Amino acid sequence: MPAIDHFWAVIPAGGAGTRLWPLSRQSSPKFLRDLTGSGRTLLQETHDRLVPLAEDRFVVVTGAAHREAVAEQLDDLAETAILAEPSARDSMAAIGLAAALLERTDPDAVMGSFAADHVIDDPAVFADAVRTAVDVARAGWLVTLGIEPTFPSAAFGYIHVGDPLEAHPGAAAVREFVEKPSAEVARGYLDTGCYRWNAGMFVVRPTVLLDLLAEWHPDFAARLRELAADLSRLEEIWPTLPKIALDHAIAEPAAAAGRVATVPAAFGWDDIGDFDSLATLLDQAREHDAVGTTVLGDEDLVHVVESSGLVIPRGGRMVAVVGLDDIVVVDTPDAVLVTTRARAQQVKQVVSGLKDAGRADLT
């Protein structure tokens, strides 16, 4: 299959991944890490799976602190393809700036925005979904990929799918976006068959995106277009942009207005939100029977007696675990974490606690 004409891949590369501490740090966030043992970082894998669709048409938006690391990891990229945010201002500003630039660069552009730290297990199914989404986006829709849920996750938002779009086989209207539900409510969603995971993957024409933004946040849209017209004003304009997620700024009101479509797709997806999620992913990838311990790294550095869970030996030292089920042990040169898969969400409390204790150097 050839690449998609005028298709631009936008990769927001942000997020500290605090629930993956001490593996993920502010200075070395999860998108810069090889979390799956594949030999490629999450950012590189995101890039790899988009190259067949976008060729060299990429825009990576990242924090100024990570610009150099991103350029090193994606060394094929043109220097101008990396936008460095002077400060973190959430996804609307990041993706909106990319849209405003593309609107000027390529009037026929369709952009697809895909976070740098997600894992997708079937690039071909992903590519098919993007191709369909691009067709729908050309007709003026804001299109989101709707991931088929494989379990009733309480950690993801959901897309409530509406009627099929007659003009676009494989696509449907989005009735609404739903915030993370309880596990019980999520189970009900799965039973109906009408709900999809919202992975925050949007495909849209840049002008449609900015025009939608202009409906609900006209100043925001205007400032993004001003900035795109003169990037030398970045330091001046950027700090004035609202800190808001694209979902809240555009996607939710646009869905209510009947302007959002979804392309349901069945590729395996995970945002590796915490060590429990990472353990599940690694077990699936290795067709592991979920008995015993999964090691991410050098197995010779792990010695386990009657235990199960995830051990990540990155400190060069021996890690021994005796008599613990569903344990998570992450060893690094300056910090070691011990928790359980069930409590993995609370790891972010360690990060905030360390900051409070004056040990931000470890976060």
Cα–Cα–Cα angle for 120, 38, 57, rounded to 5 degrees: 55
Least distance (Å) from its own copies to the CB of residue 35? 19
Q: Count other C-beta atoms under 10 Å from residue 82's C-beta.
A: 20
Residue from 64, 65, 338, 360 that binds its own copies (CB under 8 A)? 338
Contact characters 14-43, its own copies, x per CB under 8 A: -------xx---------------------
Cβ proximity to its own copies: between 224 and 321 the closer is 321
Asked if 329 interacts with its own copies (CB under 8 A), we say: yes
Q: Which of 215, 243, 237, 239 is nearest to 225 (CA)?
A: 237
How far is residue 176's CA from residue 48's CA, in Å, rounded to a whole number?
31
Stretch that binds its own copies, among 46-54, 77-85, 186-194, 342-350 (CB under 8 A): 342-350
How far is residue 294's CA from residue 330's CA, in Å, rounded to a whole number?
12
Give the SS3 label for residue 129.
helix
Pairing state of beta strands 58-63 and 82-85? parallel
Residue from 303, 312, 314, 360 that binds its own copies (CB under 8 A)? 303
Asked if 357 interacts with its own copies (CB under 8 A), we say: yes
Asked if 256 interacts with its own copies (CB under 8 A), we say: no
For 92-103, letters b (16+ CB in 10 Å) and e give bbbbbbbbbbbb
Least distance (Å) from its own copies to the CB of residue 327? 7
Asked if 324 interacts with its own copies (CB under 8 A), we say: yes
Residue from 39, 72, 75, 305 that binds its own copies (CB under 8 A)? 305
Stretch that binds its own copies, among 93-101, 103-111, 197-205, 336-344 (CB under 8 A): 336-344
Asked if 346 interacts with its own copies (CB under 8 A), we say: yes
Least distance (Å) from its own copies to the CB of residue 312? 12
Stretch that binds its own copies, among 178-186, 201-209, 235-243, 340-348 (CB under 8 A): 340-348
Stretch that binds its own copies, among 78-86, 89-97, 280-288, 320-328 (CB under 8 A): 320-328
Cα–Cα–Cα angle for 199, 355, 43, rounded to 5 degrees: 30
How far is residue 258's CA from residue 27's CA, in Å, rounded to a whole number?
41
Contact characters 263-302, its own copies, x per CB under 8 A: -------------------------------------x--
Least distance (Å) from its own copies to the CB of residue 17? 15
Contacts of 260 (CB under 8 A, 6+ apart): 141, 142, 143, 144, 173, 174, 251, 254
How far is residue 356's CA from residue 64's CA, in Å, rounded to a whole number?
25
For residue 52, give Cα distances in angstroms to 5, 48, 97.
11, 8, 24
Is the CB of residue 345 less than 8 Å from the CB of residue 363? no
Asked if 65 interacts with its own copies (CB under 8 A), we say: no
Least distance (Å) from its own copies to the CB of residue 275? 10
Asked if 321 interacts with its own copies (CB under 8 A), we say: yes
Cα torsion at 225, 245, 279, 361 (round to 10°)? 80
Query: Amino acid letter at 313?
Result: P
Q: And the tokens for 271?
A: 């945002």
Pairing state of beta strands 260-265 and 172-178? antiparallel
Least distance (Å) from its own copies to the CB of residue 307? 8
Asked if 360 interacts with its own copies (CB under 8 A), we say: no
Least distance (Å) from its own copies to the CB of residue 332? 8
What is the distance in angstroms between the CA of the first residue and the CA of the last residue of the chain?
44
Give the SS3 label for residue 152.
coil
Least distance (Å) from its own copies to the CB of residue 317? 5
Residue from 242, 264, 268, 315 that binds its own copies (CB under 8 A)? 315
Asked if 246 interacts with its own copies (CB under 8 A), we say: no
Residues contributing to the site for its own copies (CB under 8 A)? 21-22, 300, 303, 305-306, 315, 317-324, 327, 329, 331-340, 342-344, 346-347, 349-350, 353-354, 357, 359, 362
